Amino acid sequence: MNLRKHRLLVITLVIMIGISLTGCTGKKTGEDTSYKSGTYTTEAEGYGGVIKVETTFTDGKIDKINILENSETVGIGSVAIEQLPKEIVQYQSLGVDVVSGATRTSNAIIEAVSKAVEKAGGDVQALKDVPVVKEEGNDVIKETEVVVIGGGGAGLAAAVAAADNGAKVILVEKTAALGGNTVRAGGPYNAVDPARQEDVDPADENSMQKARDLTNVEPKNDRHAELMQELKDDIEAYENGTKDYLFDSLALHKLQTYDGGDYVGKLEFIEELVEKSLPTSQWMAENGVQWTDEITTVPGGLWPRAHLPFNAAGYDYIKASEDTARDLGVEILLNSKATELIVEDGNVVGIKGESDGKNMEIRAKVVIIATGGFAANIEMRQKYDPSLTENLPTTNSPSIVGDGITMAEKVGANLIGMEYIQSLPLGNPVDGTLNGWIGGAGVEYYYQVNKEGKRFMAEDGRRDTMTASLLAQPDALSYVISSANNDVDINETGINIWGDDVEKLVEDGVVFRADTIEELAAQIGIDPQVLRETHDTFNSYVAAGKDDDFGRTLFGEQLDEAPFYASPRVPTVHHTMGGIEIDLDNHVLDANGNRIPGLLAAGEVTGGIHGSNRLGGNALVDIHVFGKKAGEEAARMVNE
């Protein structure tokens, strides 16, 4: 080493030691920060409610931070709860980065600790200015057999399937936690399941007529004609039997999905999704998902075939898949963002990016893209659908911005159906997410009214038509009206299917609750007489099994048991049906329909499956059926 390089190294080390000491002592350069030793309890408002924090100061530093109470969402806010206190103590700084996707939880923790710093006589601004300097490390350079980009439901399913079939797997996730959009889902999973559906009440005549109507359309192709005949045969066999259980069939699920997407979806993919849905759910159970025997109808699902995991939430899938993946030896790298696919001689042979601020390069025989769609990317969604203005919120994680689609397009992947973007009429008015309401267990348990207290649509319809109906209402605002009959949504501890504490929702004015419909109307500023008339009319339709106003056919019990609930809801961008074109073996295709060697994709990052509109409850089937297939195909390619 020459003298000049030696001097530069010494100077660099001195600077780094100085910064390190600043971080360890909680001092801003040129300014002392001291604390009065002791333990201080403070609180701040998080995403799910108040976060109560206990901060201990000892010997002039932050010694310990404990989170005493919180109601943050498991798998989202809980990541910040776990991570941030450790980092604040480690770096003696309030300038730590917020956890992506859990901004409100992160800021609440920082705010609560800031209050404790003030109580201890410290300088909050000085602590915020202390730089967070993480340890220097080597670049992440690895080799494996399969690398999966994205740690949501599809990516984890692919990683589990590949590892279970003997492949060495690395999964990279750009955020601080696994989950993607799956962890934000309510958990409904569609599957034709005779064993569970035999305990469900038969469909009414109007619903059966809707099923028959699917057999009387102009066939789009020969296979469509065959499916219509299959459904006719299924209905005839059912009607010649006891008819004392819910009718369903694979042909009905296929035709509802095909018709529900305006016959734009690829029929062979729809058939694969439907036929593999039940077997894949059984595979998921083998890997730790606990299913209830409950069957319901998710909004936009069109038929009672939605299964729910034990906690009725998407986190159940992520936790089970993560545990299984780790048990199978999958290496999981968090805070690791892939930015580029490595292509050599026309083959995709790995990825480049960064991991914890360091360069990352992972070479692999097969790359699987499972990064989700692009509903959180305002610019990208407006490119394909200008009507989705920037003021529309989204249910998606902030990280779902289409980066996997962009990477694939750069290496020649064909994109299809990008203009098909689905919104929901059931978004949280605060941020567009799906939590914070009562009724989410199934469309059977609620109806919706506008600000005047009147119904304005069939709540069991397609998601696109329901959203269009809501957009036409005053302020595009509705209230979901539900009641204590909805015993599926609220468990014995008072938690709804989104993990919200119902008492807290009511206390904070997120959800309204009353013992009579008239009292409920008064709380939300609706004429009590109008809402009473709407309510009684709806219950009469439940009793008759027929909606004379809007044609709704899916009903549960009459909503006649107090207390009654009203949940404000707005339109929110939910799902992107378009994306990377793949074949039935999950291989990414180029514009000429040829496979791009070494590159697979699965989940919402792909296009062509759902058509112009996705049925509710089909997304979790999509990501697990095709995620599993991608992993199995990757392992097969490796073994060859």
Residues with catalytic function? 463
What is the SS3 assignment for 64? Answer: strand
Tell me the C-alpha distance between 389 and 599, whole Å. Answer: 33
Say which amino acid occupies 622.
D
DSSP secondary structure string, 277-294?
HHHHHHHHHHTTPPEEEE
Tell me the C-alpha distance between 277 and 253, whole Å. Answer: 11
421-427 vs 595-601, strand pairing mode:
unpaired
Token pair 């998080």: residue: 46
Contacts of 603 (CB under 8 A, 6+ apart): 150, 152, 153, 154, 155, 370, 372, 622, 623, 626, 627
Q: Where are the alpha helices (DSSP H) in 312-461?
A: 315-327, 378-384, 403-410
DSSP secondary structure string, 134-180?
PPP---EEEE-SEEEE--SHHHHHHHHHHHHTT--EEEE-SSSSS-T
Backbone angles phi, psi at 375, to 5 degrees: -65, -20
Q: Which of 334, 357, 333, 352 is nearest to 342 (CA)?
A: 352
Q: Which of 203, 224, 373 is nearest to 302 (CA)?
A: 203
Q: Which of 299, 311, 393 is nearest to 75 (CA)?
A: 311
Torsion of CA 627, 375, 274, 205, to 10 degrees: 160
Say which amino acid occupies 494.
G
